[in-house]
Amino acid sequence: AAVLAEARRRYGDDFAEILDGCGVWVNGEPAHGDLPVGAADEVAVLPPVSGGAGSTPGRRRPQ
């Protein structure tokens, strides 16, 4: 949580607003709560992703 608080402070309100909807991973694993983070740990902030895509132009769906 401390690393996220520092990121909010450093990158401002716009980042903080987006961060609330993001997933946070530490060393390739989902992070929850107050997981301690060390200097050698990798923290990834991943935005939400919606699935699927519309039809591709020029392609027809099988019927």
pTM exceeds 0.85: no
Is 55 inside a domain boundary?
no
Residue 7 lies in a domain: yes
| 3-state secondary structure at position 19 | helix
Question: 31 is in which domain, residue-wise?
Answer: 2-46
What is the pLDDT at residue 62? 60
Average of per-residue pLDDT across 2-27: 92
What average pLDDT is seen over the chain? 84
Asked whether the CA dihedral 10, 33, 24, 43 is positive or negative, the reply is positive
CA distance 53 to 33: 33
16 in a domain, yes or no? yes
Ramachandran angles phi, psi of 21, nearest 5°:
-100, 5
| Assigned domain for 26 exists | yes
Q: How many domains does the chain have?
A: 1
